[in-house]
Chains A and B, each alone.
Chain A
Amino acid sequence: MIGRIKDFLGFDIKADKYKLSSDPLFGIISDEKKPDKWVFSTCGYCGVGCGLHIGVKDGKAVYTKGNPAHGVNMGTLCPKGLSEHQMINSGDRVTTPLIKKDDELVYASWDDAYTKVAREFKRIASEHGEKAVGVISTGQLLTEEFYTLGKFVQLGLGTNNYDGNTTLCMASAVMGYKQSLGSDGPVGSYEDFQYANTIILIGANISDNHPILKLHIAKNEKKPKIIVIDPRASKTSQMADLFVPIKPRTDLALFNGLAYIVMEQGWEDEGYIKANTNGYKELKKHLQNYPPQEVSNITGIDVKTLYEIARQFVAQESVLSAWTMGVNQSFMGTDTVSAIINLHLLTGQIGREGAGPFSITGQCNAMGTRESGFTSSLPGYRNFGDEKALSDYAKIAKVPEDIVPTERGYKYAEIIDAIDRGEIKALWVVATNPLVSFVNQDKLRKTFAKLDMLVVQDAFMSDTAEIADVVFSAATWGEKEGTYTNSERRCNRANKAVEPLSNTKSDFDIIVDFSKHFDGVNELLFPSWEKPIDAFNEFKELTRGQLCDYTGITYELLEKEGGIQWPCNEERPLGTKRLYSPDIPFRTKDEKANLIIADWFPMNEAVTKEFPLILNTGRTVEQWHTRTKTRSIDILNDLAPEAWVDINPVDAKKLKVKSGDRISLSSPRGRVEDVVVRVSQSVAPSNVFVPFHFNTQLINKLTSESFCPKSGEPNYKQTAIQLHSDEVPDGIEFESEEISGEITHVKSKFEGIALQEKEKIVLNEK
């Protein structure tokens, strides 16, 4: 009472709470949060992989500070990284294992949770076969954990129906690298942003998604020409010298068209092509279908601009093409990646400072799971089906050959389909949240309801965890140790700063402990494994002689150097800045890169009378993925507390809405209500943009099940939709465009789409 009165009268100005004091490491900082110690680590959000220090006070994380000696971020951090310590103490954490009883998740012991899941997995395996258990993991764990999880799932549970959310994200880049260069593995370094004469950003909104990369562009003293290719004038378009507003999903045609111009003008590097590539003649013949005028008609980019972009590849010493989800999340994503790589191979713009194709990764350790995770390949970039790879693996991992899988199982979307068909009965979801991030949400919910058992292993109470039968409460970033690999192949050290919250365990411990509930599995797979380093050492041995060679890497070296870019071995003790320099051959059998023949197809769900607009989805800098980590961090969440829809003033006028009004969006698959309108010229008429983070306005109710047949990656970026305002509830009337999207002599029906989509198209045509 007295305190209240005193406070009302204003005696207390909380001066102590807000005073500053001097920290020996970082100088003058907030006194209340002045740490007892700083722990060297790496950011756990995105694939940029920033070095940082976690400040710990009384056993709690209180600060995150960028590491100025770390080459990736040089002391800076994005807003999520700066507030990352708040994430650990989020109110949305799952603090203890949970088991569903009478439709409610109740606290359980670890032993009960493991026993229940193990019993159910074993029952399903005996009744329906081991492959009736599916696993969907993530790009969020540490490499050691990925290796442990993959080994357990593939060799312990005996199911290869195992994939990660990386298939929603980087799979097209992976498959593109594989088919063009012979192996997965991003080519360049961030410092290439600093050295390139021309930087082409394709479907990459780095201002929102990877702001720290701007640091490397800012360092570029050549004043590089920046070309941004995107159907939306995103924040990133503002840094462009040339903004290229490409028509949605015509990127593949564009890169084929640019390659045509390169060949037509004789701008290719013949010597390089001859020495290093296969398939030149076939490509040249194929590209005759992509003359500039036709490509201009398809892409909406005028011919002069096409020549200007193509000319960069010969006029400039170094050209860097960086892309993210705009390219990958495409029903022809793999081939689009290859078309970009084609351009670089044709002009020899690869393997040099400032030059190369560069996929920017989404998640902190999507790369780690690609290298070690056992989903799209055997660990260490060994291909499924390669007998030598299999026996090598078995020998190094000391396991019988017959339990090593010979082929890849179902990809993400195929797992979902198999659940729908009743083929997969149990699903184990690790650190991902399909109930926000996957396409066609209404259907996905129904599909998940068919499962006998859904296990979710997560640090946060995600939408998917809410409907789980059992939840494994995981520790999160800062509470566990291991390594992350970033977009530039840099393996970074992440240390444990604080003890796992309450009754949570690191994913490594969860998997190893869980394996003890399966007869003999723990002894076979994880003999005397106690710490992540046990997994690291085994994985390291698996990479010997592979492209992702880790053999020269130690945890100590990672801290000392601020991360190491693989390959790192005796020859390259401090790693390798870029692949495919003259001394690093391509990873194909004949050590030559493949020029890939890639065809462009029009979208299979083009706009219709009923759904005349194209929805594009993406991200905003303040939020992370499905917001499980960021929604309780006020300073981030307040800046973007809900989804919005960018619509062009032309469409706003038709709908009689203005900024701040609320509208609904619909597609053949569902409807999203109550989305706030942002009228903006950042989108073209008939195009809208909505961020996908928000379960409150779940935009993935609308997106369709259209996938790249090679990578399995969904085509998130274009969905035909309708908008409904209060005044115009039926939405916008369709205005037919002049037909410009089809090349007559190319197949115009795309054959790679999932079966049910084909049926739908047939139905639509009737």
Chain B
Amino acid sequence: MQTPLESFIDHKADTGMQCGNYSIDIPDLKDGEQYRFHFDATACVGCHCCEVACNEQNNNPADIKWRRVGEVEGGVFPQFSQIFNSMSCNHCIDPECLIGCPTESYIKIAETGIVIHDDDTCIGCQYCTWNCPYGVPTFHEERNIVTKCHMCYERLDVGQTPACVQACPSGAIEIETVNVQEWLERDIDDQANMPFLPDARITNSTTRYTLPENMPDDLKEVDEHILKPSHSEMPLVFMTVLTQVSLGGFLALFLGDVMSLFGFSQTNWIMALLVMLPAALGLPLSALHLGRPFLALTAMKNIKSSWLSREALALGVFVLLMNIVVVMYFVEAPHVSILLVELLTLVVGIYGIHAQAMIYRIKARPSWDRITTNFKFFGTLHVGILLLGLIAVIFGLKEVAIPLITLSMLGAISQLFFTYEDLRTLKSTTLNEYQLLRTARLYDENFSNVKRFRFISIVIGGLLLPLFTIVLFSTSSFGAASFVMFIALLLSISSEFSDRFLFYSTVVPLGMAGGFFVGKQRD
């Protein structure tokens, strides 16, 4: 091409701004510095150039947006304020995506501080999409993995401008360098926050915001009217409930085994097998929610910082140990050795469910990040006890059955209380009140029937029917007792499934404000 435009790569437009330039002059990084975005909300006109330029650069389809533009507005006409936020990844100092990733698929590049994603090792578990308080990582269905903004680091490496920066006609997006220590000690609280954006301290975000002076107090997100349930994560609904049921059953088995030392009936291999089954069924189910199930086992890689890895490993070992217990019962191994293995299994199982609960104790998802999550996860154990109770009833083991049923009823009462408390505190917590109240709205507006079912079924299945079973059992109507108990178990487990479904569906994550038609929620 015989024009003066021969090479754009070195072209610098006469703007005094980074926009429009194909090459960029960024000062060399000194010790303790990293790259970051600067977004000037007073310059942005909400034209969405950056979004389109990003997708064009990265060949992403329209529904995969690494950069999004959101809006908040407020004031009274004509003193009206409309503030845009164009945001991609904030390349945090303590990125939650990286910390939680079970496969260590996030890399914070040491030299530049840019947080990139390693596509090859990603298993598509999407835990990072939960962990990031900004909703940055995006699951790319066509690719079965998560993808995200990488600040066009390959371009930056050779002095080229990132697509969004280059595209902005207002010069509102820039690349800067920042001294990490100064940022954390001095500037972050003043310069990294933006209305409706999560507190920058959660992940120590690096993006610097320039905001208008005198913002009105009554700012609202323009996507406030968009309130959609989150993904129901059905494989996880079954996996978590079933593993918890197993643990409950195993706890009962262990207690029974201990009791047998004092002359109560001996526990047997059928019981051990039956309490093992739910977990053995549920655990592989969880692989179904992965984008790349064939890599499921690599989820155990990041024991040092990911609760997901810890859960995967612990529950894997738990199921393995339960298998061993079954075999030991079957080959009638010495009682003491069975007891010891059972104790070990129980400890591993309890740790596994603890880790499982801790997966959800993340700041980005306020309705999950409450102690009631832990309580409810362990509360589900009552179903497992009920399961063993059913077996005892079928075998006609009165002295085992009645304590077990009683114990399960106590468990059900606790679970009922936890569920109630979980709902009550949604409306009485001040931290993240906005998101929690929206969760409460989802309970009331979208899922009131499921919620009602949850409470009715736990009362009938967890309390009334077991009580009735005890009565029938006392009159030695074993057949009827078994039947009633079976119904109780079905109701109880359905109740837990429904509650877990609500748990996933009603979560309202932290995030940026969205657009009027395109809300912040990715699903």
Contact = CB atoms under 8 A, between A and B. Distances in A.
B155 A639 contact: no
Contacts of B30: none
Interface in B117-140: 119-120, 122-124
A239 B172 CA distance: 13
Interface stretch (B42-50, B273-281, B305-313): B42-50
Interface string A199-232: 0000000111001101100110100000000000
A28 B153 CA distance: 10
Given A68-B21, A74-B13, A218-B15, A27 B46 contact: no
Q: Is the interface of B mostly helix, strand, loop or mixed?
A: loop
A214 B169 contact: yes
A682 B4 contact: no
B166 A75 contact: yes
Given A10-B144, A69-B4, A74-B15, A32 B80 contact: no
Nearest to A205: B45
A372 B60 CA distance: 42
B399 interface: no
B373 interface: no
A691 to B, nearest CB: 12
Which one of A73, A238, A640 has the greatest number of beta carbons of chain B within 10 Å?
A238
A233 B78 contact: yes
A514 interface: no
A7 B45 CA distance: 41
Interface string B97-133: 0000000000000000000000110111000000000
A638 interface: yes
A467 B224 CA distance: 41
B225 A659 contact: yes
A532 B47 CA distance: 34
A78 B77 contact: no
Contacts of A639: 48, 51, 515, 517-518
Contacts of A359: none
Which interface class (under 10, 10 to 19, 20 to 34, 35 or more) fits A?
35 or more
A236 B45 CA distance: 7
B59 A11 contact: no
Contact of B154 (A20, A25, A680): A20
Given A74-B20, A243-B78, A681-B74, A83 B517 contact: no
A707 B243 CA distance: 73
A75 B47 contact: no
B57 interface: yes
A69 B516 CA distance: 36
Contacts of B19: 74-76, 215, 218
Given A644-B516, A659-B225, A215 B53 contact: no
Most B-side CB within 10 Å, residue of A30, A75, A560, A639: A75
Nearest to A658: B225
A83 B123 CA distance: 32
B167 A219 contact: no
B3 interface: yes
A468 B394 CA distance: 78
Contacts of B272: none
A18 B22 contact: no
Contacts of A238: 45, 81-83
Contact of B15 (A9, A219, A680): A219
Interface stretch (B291-299, B315-323, B418-426, B485-493): B291-299
B431 interface: no
Nearest to A80: B52
B518 A75 contact: no
Contacts of A642: 517
Contact of A211 (B49, B60, B158): B49
A17 B59 contact: yes
A275 interface: no
A659 B519 CA distance: 13
Contacts of A211: 45, 47, 49, 169-170
B170 A218 contact: yes
A113 B212 CA distance: 59
A38 interface: yes
A684 interface: yes
A1 interface: no
Contact of B155 (A25, A27, A215): A27
A675 B314 CA distance: 53
A26 B295 CA distance: 37
Contacts of A12: 143-144
Interface string A573-596: 000000000000000000000000
B293 A9 contact: yes
A520 interface: no
A659 B48 contact: no
Contacts of A9: 292-294
A682 B73 contact: yes
Given A12-B144, A14-B143, A245-B77, A76 B168 contact: yes
Contacts of B8: 25-27, 65, 67-69, 75
B327 interface: no
Contacts of A145: none
B80 A233 contact: yes
Contact of B225 (A63, A221, A660, A685): A660
Contacts of A83: 52, 56
Nearest to A687: B77
Contacts of A68: 5, 8, 11-13, 20-22
Contacts of B158: 27-28
Contacts of B381: none
Residue in A65, A77, A639 whose Cβ sees the most chain B Cβ within 10 Å:
A639
A238 B59 CA distance: 32
B160 A28 contact: yes
A675 to B, nearest CB: 13
A537 to B, nearest CB: 23
Contacts of B16: 219, 221
Nearest to A235: B46
A746 interface: no
Interface in B1-35: 1, 3-5, 7-9, 11-17, 19-23
B169 A76 contact: yes
B373 to A, nearest CB: 29
Contacts of B1: 38, 40
Given A7-B144, A13-B144, A682 B20 contact: no
B62 interface: yes
A660 B224 CA distance: 9
Interface centre among A74, A76, A659, by most chain B C-beta atoms within 10 angstroms, is A76
Given A9-B294, A659-B224, A681-B74, A15 B55 contact: no
B142 interface: yes
A149 B145 CA distance: 53
Contact of B58 (A18, A641, A648): A18
> Which 8 A-B residue pairings sit nearest by Cβ, starting from the closest?
A10-B292, A660-B225, A634-B62, A75-B20, A211-B47, A207-B45, A245-B78, A74-B13
Interface of B: 1, 3-5, 7-9, 11-17, 19-23, 43, 45-49, 51-53, 55-63, 73-78, 80-83, 119-120, 122-124, 142-145, 147, 152, 154-155, 158, 160, 166-171, 222, 224-226, 290-295, 515-518
Given A15-B119, A214-B170, 4 more contacts: A25-B8, A25-B9, A76-B169, A682-B73
13 contacts: A13-B292, A18-B60, A24-B7, A27-B23, A28-B152, A69-B11, A74-B19, A75-B19, A211-B47, A233-B78, A233-B82, A560-B4, A638-B62
